[in-house]
């Protein structure tokens, strides 16, 4: 399928459908309204990602956001936009209103219309029960495949999506000549494409990107206005109705080709993931067997070591007893040597006394006269 107005850069078709479709619907309306030589001052409210600048490279695009970033005008949540009335020809905003605190939403709508001199375009999830149910299902699926909560779906649940009636009432208060609402992203198809993207994100090496996305983005547009839709595209014109005319799409129903392409990809991903899961399970079973064998070997080795340690302990005790016995013998030897020395000295003393006595007796015998 050929797009009604070509995108300025073919790589934009590689963006996920949820991002591409909402930007392209607004891009299409503005390009259809553009007169020869016109160059617009465009304000993107909440567009820190910078996608609007890629869709409108010839225009002067300013980005304002509560999140700081390069070339981004930063504002506090709920604060007035830091621009004078009518500072921009066009104000755009993509799926931002539902992330604004409920008490600030009326002020937000008033501010984006105040700073626009010609037109305002913004997208927001349609505020009805079917959308809530689909988002809950999508959030559950994401948590299943990713193991964590989905960031923006969780915030939708926390803050609540503004109802279409609320938005309509606030647009009537802006003082603009007229406004229109158009449906975008047929709900069931939006869900199928979104969850297939969740699968893609978890298996990027399995899916051939981005060819199928390019085809899907082209095919989806042909039936993007079918009800019930996931998303609403609102357009407000201060005076010139040309800003509204470009939002209307021609009839057609070629979306099935695109969704079939996506679901074929998803099916191939699931098949591949199942194959990998089976391989992983087989590896896990082999690893479990190897671990069991190693544990048995470890238990056997531990038993052998314990037995060897027991023998070593007994030998150590024997050696300690022998060492103690030797120490006792050395002590007895040393005591015997001391006693020997003492007895030797005593013997020497006694021998000396005997010699003295014998000598005295001999001396007396010599001195006595012979009868």
Residue 235's DSSP bridge partners are: 121, 180
Structural domains of the chain, ranges and CATH numbers in brackets: 10-253 (3.40.50.150)
Per-residue pLDDT at 209 exceeds 60: no
Task: Please write the tens of the pLDDT for every residue from 81-108.
Answer: 999 999 999 999 999 999 999 999 999 9
Please tell me the pTM assigned to this model: 0.69
DSSP run (H or E) holding 138 = helix 129-146
More confident of the two residues 242 and 147 = 242
Alpha-carbon dihedral sign for residues 215, 219, 224, 227? negative
Per-residue pLDDT at 149 exceeds 70: yes
Task: Please write the tens of the pLDDT for every residue from 151-189.
Answer: 889 999 999 999 999 999 999 999 898 999 998 888 887
Per-residue pLDDT at 252 exceeds 60: no
User: How far is it, in rounded angstroms, from Cα 323 to Cα 73?
Assistant: 88
Task: Share the mean pLDDT of the chain.
Answer: 85
Per-residue pLDDT at 258 exceeds 50: no
Note whether 78 and 97 are within 8 A (CB).
no
The three-class DSSP label of residue 232 is strand
> So what's the pLDDT on residue 146?
80
Most confident region among 84-98, 140-154, 217-231, 258-272 by mean pLDDT: 84-98
**Axis crossing angle, helix 187-202 with helix 17-33, rounded to the nearest 10:** 130
**Helices (DSSP H) in 222-254: which residue ranges?**
242-245
Task: Please write the tens of the pLDDT for every residue from 330-345.
Answer: 889 988 888 888 888 8
């Amino acid at each position: 399928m050929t797009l009604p107005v070509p995108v300025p850069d073919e790589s934009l078709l590689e963006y996920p459908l949820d991002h591409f479709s909402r930007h392209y619907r607004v891009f299409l309306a503005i390009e259809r309204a553009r007169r020869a030589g016109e160059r617009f001052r465009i304000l993107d409210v909440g567009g820190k990602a910078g996608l609007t600048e890629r869709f409108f490279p010839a225009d002067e695009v300013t980005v304002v956001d509560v999140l700081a970033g390069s070339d981004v005008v930063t504002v506090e949540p709920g604060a007035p936009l830091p621009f004078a009335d009518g500072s921009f020809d066009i104000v755009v905003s993509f799926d931002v209103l539902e992330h604004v605190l409920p008490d600030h939403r009326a002020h937000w709508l008033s501010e984006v219309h105040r700073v626009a001199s010609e037109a305002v375009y913004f997208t927001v999830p349609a505020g009805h029960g079917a959308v809530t149910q689909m988002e809950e299902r999508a959030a559950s699926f994401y948590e299943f495949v990713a193991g964590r909560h989905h960031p923006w779906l969780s915030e939708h649940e926390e803050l609540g999506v503004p109802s279409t009636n609320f938005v309509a009432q606030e647009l009537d208060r802006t003082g603009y000549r007229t406004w229109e609402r158009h449906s975008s992203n047929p709900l069931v198809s939006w869900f199928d494409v979104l969850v297939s993207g969740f699968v893609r994100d978890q298996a990027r090496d399995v899916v051939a990107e981005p060819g199928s996305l390019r085809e899907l983005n082209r095919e989806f547009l042909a039936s993007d206005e079918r009800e019930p839709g996931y998303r609403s595209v609102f357009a407000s014109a201060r005076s010139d109705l040309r800003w509204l005319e470009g939002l209307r799409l021609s009839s057609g129903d070629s979306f099935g080709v695109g969704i079939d392409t996506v679901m074929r990809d998803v099916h191939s991903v699931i098949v591949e993931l199942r194959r990998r899961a089976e391989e992983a399970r087989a590896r896990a079973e082999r690893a479990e067997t190897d671990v069991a064998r190693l544990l048995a070997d470890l238990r056997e080795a531990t038993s052998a070591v314990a037995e060897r340690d027991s023998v070593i302990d007994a030998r150590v005790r024997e050696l300690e007893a022998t060492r103690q016995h030797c120490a006792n013998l050395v002590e007895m030897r040393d005591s015997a040597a001391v006693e020997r020395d003492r007895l030797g000295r005593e013997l020497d003393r006694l021998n000396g006394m005997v010699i003295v006595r014998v000598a005295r007796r001999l001396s007396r015998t010599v001195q006595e006269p012979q009868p």
